[in-house]
Structure 1
């Protein structure tokens, strides 16, 4: 498609957009009385309007039924989480029994590492990516120290080549071969939070397992954003937050995946809790743990229903639309945003460097833009003029044109505001 940086062209794309109607299903902040252009769905997704109804339903059931809401609410609380299995399995490419919701992201990664990081004197090293999200860095380091190992000797970071912003797949594969028999675990973010690079999950997983290691993925920026086939790719485990692209609300519950090959392995260690116990016998209060045969068997405590309610509202919307339609629009609107940035760069005395891969196979719903010659003042200008973006030091803005609620006209309008901001600052 031959793009044009005009409002009329952007409006034509919106008129042809099959997902345009879903924009009306979300609540937008307003600045100076005007609805914002929202580019930070990779940090916190907008609130779906139907979320409140789901939360109100739980509050009403609590008021009317109290403890009996566990069994007699319209959506009983004791099996509330089971409503996620089918729709979430479609989002991440899994069997329904392989996914569950529980806790929050880093908590789930810690719990999954209890099972899948089992170091020995000869097999103890972990491969992760350079500049992973800080929480992952803290989590991995603390796990290594908990097991009595030195992080400097144990954690192997895949680094970017000098002068490059993204990690090459061949460098990951070479490092896996290099570490060899000492490798216990590969744990990487499926989409790098800083650059927006999408990793080759299938290829890296296969290579790690061929080396005799478990392979897990932090899918915080991937779930609800990219095409995933966790079951077919034979991923051992994964976890993701729900408040970014999945629009569940601030700090909300996490999703988790455990491949079915591990479901019946009772020799795998785990931190047990009663909500992971055999569902049919859970309320017999038995002393010996008999885990559910599935990802639910990694649950620990009963679920926070008030947190799950808005997540369920969003998951139902994902199920209605489907990932293929979201990905189709994601690719087009991200490409149009890239075009707009390039056109504005030609019009002003400035230099933008998009550090996100240009190959659509290696990126998703994010463009990270290095604003050479510009500083924090430009970010402040954008925010003050109704464009909510994300700033990362030293001078990178992250732009996520989420297909559920961003419009093509947003992309055009952002370009005009950006141009004015550069000229003003």
Structure 2
């Protein structure tokens, strides 16, 4: 490393120590992989095998809270003690018939919703598909049939929207409208979305963007986009997978129509964990004749007569009425563990305050690298010299706990070499093709020192690539 970067590194470490003393970290509440558990001891012989990895991947899968074992074991004990009877006579935790209900107000607080607007159910894309069936109602008579979303949306969302249109008997090539950033830019400007809505809104039935774009890390201006969409008569839904537990959301106040998210990223509830939905209170009332048509099951039916086995659907007058099956008890226990940690650590507002500082500090560290270029500098260069740009917005109001690094030149496969170098040395992040490494410093368990350690390894790797 250059002497200039070493000087910067020493200064950054001093700053990190000060910030770490100011902003509390709750790493002791989580289980960290180690060099040994990751199979990295032979590549790091000078380090203790029990050394914790530098985990910067909470935007993909959050770490396991230590107490989750206890939460799950209690349900296993209830299963062992009373079997099926624990649905109604669970003396250890909550009767399984209502196991998800205590979690509803906890999640509602995190996403800014009324309790009646939240249900815990399914998984992310299953929930998206379920709600799309209800909320996408193309009108062939007045021509309001289009679906507006972003180019480069998470593929699962694209597949869901594409096949939704086919299920409605329409041609996806004619119905799906995807907006892209301007040439030379990596984020979709709100103004462009607003302008499109103003010009074409009367043809759009559904607007369905990501809350935070998984690849770029852009946090869309949910409130502004929702308001304009409603002015133009459109239904608005949001995939909040990368936003829930990350951003201080205000779903009710922002008046979105529906939202879906997984709970395994920033909400740390385990791989493939149970998901959640938000449905605006406007849509949760009515019986089987007057209420919103939906994909249904017995867990959405009035709990007072659910077990009478009658052939009449009487939906619960809340988002719970959109549930279909009884939830996995073990999944709910895992989610409950994480939600209790959120409360213990001061809630989403306090964590968001640290998150802004943490991500900004990581950005500051990255910009000290001689291999960093701004987007405009990269466009002006010949791109033969290996470097990276940050494609996540600089404004902290337009991003969460993620920075996406795009590596150039594209023909050198630099990204995978950097990713492997970091991973081999115990810094865990993730890669997203094409050519992006995502770094996700999570306020619950990451420190400012973690940011410095990551950038030091990144600089070492780039130096080696240049030497080769």
In the superposition, relative to structure 1, how do residues 240 and 347 fare at CA in structure 2: closer, same or farther (>3 Å)? closer
Q: Does 1:401 align with 2:425?
A: no
Q: What is the aligned partner in structure 2 of residue 301 from structure 1? A: 325
1:143 to 164, 178, 191: 164
In structure 2, how many angstroms separate the alpha carbons of the residues matched to 1:261 and 1:48? 36
- The answer to whether the 8 Å contact 1:98/1:259 transfers is yes
**Which of 112, 117, 120 is equivalent to 2:136?**
117
Give the Å deviation of 1:84. 1.3
Cα distance in 2, alignment partners of residues 89 and 45 from structure 1 = 20
Name 2:34's counterpart in structure 1.
30
Alpha-carbon RMSD across the aligned residues, in angstroms, is 1.7
Q: Does 1:102 align with 2:142?
A: no
Distance in 2, matches of 1:9 and 1:306, equals 42
TM-score by length of 1: 0.96
User: What residue ranges of structure 1 are gaps of 5+ in the alignment?
Assistant: none
Q: Distance in 1 between matches of 2:351 and 2:154?
A: 25
- Partner SS, residue 65 of structure 1: helix
Q: If the length of structure 2 is used for normalisation, what is the TM-score?
A: 0.88
Q: Does 1:333 align with 2:358?
A: yes
What is the CA–CA distance in structure 1 between the aligned matches of 2:166 and 2:360, rounded to whole Å?
43
Cα gap change, 1:214 to 1:375, in 2 (>3 Å): closer
Structure 2 unaligned spans of 5+ = 1-7, 36-40, 42-48, 374-384
Tell me which of 342, 356, 361 is aligned to 2:392.
356
Paired residue for 1:174?
Answer: 195
SS at match of 2:437: strand
Q: What is the SS of the residue equivalent to 2:58?
A: coil
1:291 aligned to which of 302, 315, 320:
315
Structure 1: how far apart are the matches of 2:221 and 2:291?
30
Corresponding residue for residue 75 of structure 1: 94
The change in CA–CA distance for 1:325 and 1:270 in structure 2 (over 3 A counts) is same
- Contact 2:201 2:229 (C-alpha < 8 Å) held by counterparts: no
- The separation in 2 between residues aligned to 1:137 and 1:418, in whole angstroms, is 33
Within-5 A mapping of 1:49-68: 49-68=66-85
Quote the Cα distance in structure 1 between the aligned partners of 2:442 and 2:275. 20
- Larger-gyration structure (1/2): 2
Structure 1 residue 347, shift from structure 2 partner: 9.2
Q: Name the SS for the 2:102 alignment partner.
A: helix
SS at match of 1:72: coil
Q: Any conservation in 2 of the 1:3–1:339 contact (CA below 8 Å)? A: no
Structure 1 residue 281 displacement after superposition: 1.5
